[in-house]
A and B are shown apart, each in its own frame.
Chain A
Amino acid sequence: MIMKLRPVTTDANTKGRLGDYTLQAMRPLAMIIAVLALAACAGKPPPKTATDKPAGPVEVVAIPADPFPSTYKPYPGVTTVIRGATVYDGAGRKFAPGMVRLEGGKVAEVGATVAVPAGATVIEAAGKFVTPGIIDIHSHLGDYPSPQVQAVSDGNEATRPNTADVWAEHSVWPQDAGFTRALAGGVTTFHILPGSANLFGGRGVTVKNVLGRTAQDMKFPGAKPSLKMACGENPKRVYGGRNQSPATRMGNIAVDRQTWADAVAYKRKWDDYTRKAKAGTARPTDAPRRELANDTLMGVLNGDILVQNHCYRADEMANVIAMSKEFGYHVSAFHHAVESYKIADLLKAENICSAMWADWWGFKMESYDGIRENIALVHNAGACAMIHSDDANGIQHLNQEVTKAMAAGRRAGIVVPPEQAIEWMTLNPAKALQIDRQTGSLEPGKMADVVLWNGDPFSVYSRPLDVWIDGALMYDAADPNRRPRTDFELGQPGSGDVK
């Protein structure tokens, strides 16, 4: 049984204040729903209530979609044409040489030649390469920032196996120098996840790699949050070590399933309340008590929150897939999926992406079977393959990790050309984050998230020269004024250096 009930509760309200929490400004969709709710009441007698409130519009208590909305605003850019470079568009095409035009913060045109408007900044880039900005779907930057001291180590709320109530964005320290190093590596978007101590680690957040004064300044507008889940060794070790459940893999699944069963019940209560409230037969005080962890889980069941599931072993992924069907949700991606190559056919059939390292293996038992051909084998099976870092250093050279994976595949007889392999770090993670309509490739109308490399990005000798985000030049290796320094770095030795 798969629950397909769509949320009608999201932001739909007719009042600015209901219950014991403040509601956010209504989004357009929410307004439509609110209007429909009112329309549905037209012609009916006003509901009788126990209060003396005059009859009026129906009040439907709803859970705000995002009480911490993005305050990201693109910085100004200029119309820019990059000419003469080899262009990988991130969607399977290569132009050698090619041209790219960025205009109004968007990719305007890509091809062998593009129009050059009067007044455009033209970059002669013969011998250089252009790619979409890199997207890392698994980062803990900001939550485990530099320096790695306990005082700012905020990535794992390892106090109970279900902490679906916590949000990674509330731990993000905007002064993590890791953001700047990732930018110098060509990363324009990444997804910050809670750690994996817990079965339900909390919500992850997608950010643009544009530094700001707050985490909200970085939030990718409109990107769905995720629910971080974890299989395997970490949860059972953390809680088993405290003589608490889960202490085994069967315990992991048992606690998972009970939690999902409770979430389904929570959703039923809200759905029931909402239906009655819209029909005018429930009062605001009848709204179920908010349970923040269940809010997140219900968001998953409603399709508003994506599941990003830390899971190394093939057999555990299969267990999770079965569980997801039992409770009616879909896993967006398995992360650290070192054994995806063993079940690449299943992952294709289930339309689940795998976020993988190029060659990490053996650092723990569940990573013992990692192989360098993993990504190529998953790709070759027709499943969605992605690189990911999970690491403040690794995020700086994801292009190199993709290259190692591509080369290992080629030696094993799986030839994935660069124009396809690049999707492992651009379009595919965009898809798994459901932001592929906005970014992830150089296609007209998409965000102008672009990297100009000083050489072939599939070479160890190449580094980004320029990085644009939403058309704004946010990094220039040659210009100290276009290389951000976090507050933490000010006054420190080597501050402002090319790193």
Chain B
Amino acid sequence: MGLQATRGGRWLPAFAGMTAVLLGTPAAAVPIAITNATVMDGAGHSVDNATIVVDGGRIRTVGPGPAPVGATVIDGTGRTVTPGLVVGMSDLGLDEVGGVREANDTRAAKSPFSAALDVVPALNGRDSQIAVARAGGVTRAVVAPEAGRDIFAGQGALIALREGLDIVTRGRAFQLVELGEAGAENAGGSRTASFTAFRNALVEAQRLGRGRDAGNKENLYPRADSEALVAVVDGRESLVVHVERASDIVGVLALKADFPRLRLILFGAREGWTVADRIAAAHVPVITSGLDDLPDAFETLASTRSNVGRMVAAGVVVGIGTSGGESTNQPRNVTQFAGNLVAQGRLPGGVGLTRDQALSLITRNPAEIFGMADTGTIAPGKRADLVVWDGDPLELTSAPVAVLIDGVAQPVTSRQTELRDRYRDLTRGPLPPQYRP
């Protein structure tokens, strides 16, 4: 059976029928088997002619052999199966249209609160961005707010891009703080202020956590913000720190001397390669976008597409995230970013990754960095978050033909596919285009 689009762009009936069977099927009902596929497991390995059996929302077996009797079969012949893509940073679910203030909940510059801000109530599972990203193979994502007027942006969440409203898998998953140029600006105009504000905020939270400082009128942060930071200073919640410049990275790593329980994650780190050994020694993981190679700020002068390859070579755990938005850095384009990291290694003097390594940067690594150990790889017992691709998953010409989250097949349509179908034929019909499906 070929899961191929016809020339007319319609899915072959076999696949359409199968999709109908799979969609909305309760995870526990019938086992699913993806047969005879090339499997890239996200953990650095690829095998050919494998069958993946899914039952109860989990991966049960991966290996040679036929599908179990009674299983719904997806023929993976000529296909590649990967873990569902995990995007290490995004604004998915927070804005339907970036430039429309009413439809954008990424930033709250007029709020009196900062660290206390929580994306969970703002997340919308019906956001079109989610459907578009899902059609591109994204199954899990890290979602962060953008900093408003403070160095602290607030608390981010982890989501599953499953159809429907129930997308949050973990709220208050981390705190995001700006300690580079943006942080300096928000803190009053200088890094002297941003690092001072940061230390002060954590000290205020420490005191509050120890029950010593409730109601202290000298506190600069509202109580709600301090309460949110108690989990950070105690190490119960990760702290994602956006910095780019090498000196800022070193400064952030040094914070652990004063706040030893901080669980740091670096975000950005465009100059990370110049201090990769220090990042690796500190066992601090990095989320970055990978393709930026311009000195587009004074904090990014050392930018290069070899940044990721060099950090990985030094032993840093790196995941790919997007800086948000619907232009170049779309979550669905993380495969393009990963592919380019492979390309970088094929240039004289460039340092890149293997294909399997690159895939792990958009599956296993971000999952691990954010504590989603049960997804991001294809192995027995893991969540059945799977993507069946019509070609090399990192290639620009490839696209998912099936996306499973927790063993449930997901729609790979969106309002974009509906627009495409409406305007495919511009011939004047009996009624205006607005009457078409």
Q: Please list the residues of chain A having a beta carbon within 8 angstroms of any beta carbon in chain B.
A: 146-149, 177-178, 181, 233, 341-345, 357, 359-365, 367-373, 377, 381, 391-394, 396-397, 400, 403-404, 406-407, 410-413, 415, 454-455, 458-463, 477-478, 488-489, 492-494, 497-499
Q: Would A462 and B343 count as touching, CB distance under 8 A?
A: yes
**Knowing A403-B397, A494-B303 touch, does A461 contact B342 (C-beta < 8 A)?**
yes
For residue B9, which residues in chain A have a CB less than 8 angstroms away from its CB?
411-413
A361 to B295, CA, bound (A): 26
Whether a CB of chain A sits under 8 angstroms from the CB of B385 is: no
Q: List 6 A-B contacts (CB under 8 A).
A: A149-B298, A178-B294, A360-B326, A362-B326, A460-B339, A499-B305
Please classify how large the interface on chain B is, using the bins under 10, 10 to 19, 20 to 34, 35 or more. 35 or more
For A361, give its contact among B303, B398, B416 (CB under 8 Å): B416
For residue A357, which residues in chain B have a CB less than 8 angstroms away from its CB?
327
**Knowing A362-B98, A368-B97 touch, does A492 contact B296 (C-beta < 8 A)?**
no
Q: Which of B82-132 contact A (CB under 8 A)?
A: 96-100, 128-129, 132
Give the residue name and chain of the A residue nearest to B433 (CB): A342
Chain A nearest CB: distance from B163 CB in Å?
19
For B97, give its contact among A365, A404, A497 (CB under 8 Å): A365
Give the residue name and chain of the A residue nearest to B245 (CB): A493
Whether a CB of chain A sits under 8 angstroms from the CB of B232 is: no
Q: Please list the residues of chain B having a beta carbon within 8 angstroms of any beta carbon in chain A.
A: 5-9, 96-100, 128-129, 132, 246, 271, 273-274, 291-298, 300-306, 325-328, 330, 332-333, 336, 339-340, 342-344, 346-350, 394-399, 416-417, 419-420, 423-424, 426, 433
Chain B nearest CB: distance from A110 CB in Å?
26
Q: Would A460 and B342 count as touching, CB distance under 8 A?
A: yes
Which of A147, A412, A413, A460 has the most chain B CB atoms inside 10 A of its CB? A460
Q: Would A499 and B293 count as touching, CB distance under 8 A?
A: yes
For residue B398, which residues in chain A have a CB less than 8 angstroms away from its CB?
407
Q: Would B295 and A492 count as touching, CB distance under 8 A?
A: yes
Give the residue name and chain of the B residue nearest to A366 (CB): B99
Q: Would B349 and A497 count as touching, CB distance under 8 A?
A: yes
A413 to B294, CA, bound (A): 37
A478 to B19, CA, bound (A): 49
For residue B304, which residues in chain A have a CB less than 8 angstroms away from its CB?
494, 497-499
For residue A499, which residues in chain B have a CB less than 8 angstroms away from its CB?
293, 303-306
Q: Would A396 and B293 count as touching, CB distance under 8 A?
A: yes
Other than the known A393-B328, A463-B346, what 4 A-B pairs have Cβ atoms closer than 8 Å?
A406-B397, A411-B399, A460-B342, A492-B295
For A492, give its contact among B302, B325, B328 (CB under 8 Å): B302
For residue B333, which residues in chain A have a CB less than 8 angstroms away from its CB?
359
For residue A396, which residues in chain B have a CB less than 8 angstroms away from its CB?
293
Give the residue name and chain of the B residue nearest to A314 (CB): B423
For B274, give its contact among A368, A455, A493 (CB under 8 Å): A493
For B396, give its contact among A345, A369, A404 (CB under 8 Å): A404
For residue A362, which residues in chain B have a CB less than 8 angstroms away from its CB?
96-98, 128-129, 326
A19 to B423, CA, bound (A): 56
For residue A459, which residues in chain B have a CB less than 8 angstroms away from its CB?
395-396
Give the residue name and chain of the A residue nearest to B135 (CB): A372
Q: Would A460 and B394 count as touching, CB distance under 8 A?
A: yes
**Knowing A360-B327, A492-B301, A492-B302 touch, does A460 contact B294 (C-beta < 8 A)?**
no
A371 to B347, CA, bound (A): 32
Q: Would B349 and A498 count as touching, CB distance under 8 A?
A: yes
Q: Would A371 and B416 count as touching, CB distance under 8 A?
A: yes
**Knowing A359-B333, A478-B348 touch, does A342 contact B423 (C-beta < 8 A)?**
yes
**Knowing A341-B423, A412-B9, A460-B342 touch, does A392 contact B99 (C-beta < 8 A)?**
no
A488 to B325, CA, bound (A): 29
For residue B296, which residues in chain A have a CB less than 8 angstroms away from its CB?
146-148, 392
For B302, give its contact among A147, A394, A461, A494 (CB under 8 Å): A494
Q: Would A489 and B295 count as touching, CB distance under 8 A?
A: yes
For A460, give its contact among B327, B332, B395 (CB under 8 Å): B395
Q: Would A365 and B346 count as touching, CB distance under 8 A?
A: no
Which of B99, B274, B295, B394 has the most chain A CB atoms inside 10 A of its CB? B295
For residue A381, which residues in chain B have a CB less than 8 angstroms away from its CB?
426
A392 to B330, CA, bound (A): 16
Give the residue name and chain of the A residue nearest to B348 (CB): A478
A256 to B196, CA, bound (A): 52
Give me the 5 closest cross-chain CB pairs, A-B, nearest first. Answer: A460-B339, A364-B99, A493-B302, A413-B9, A362-B326
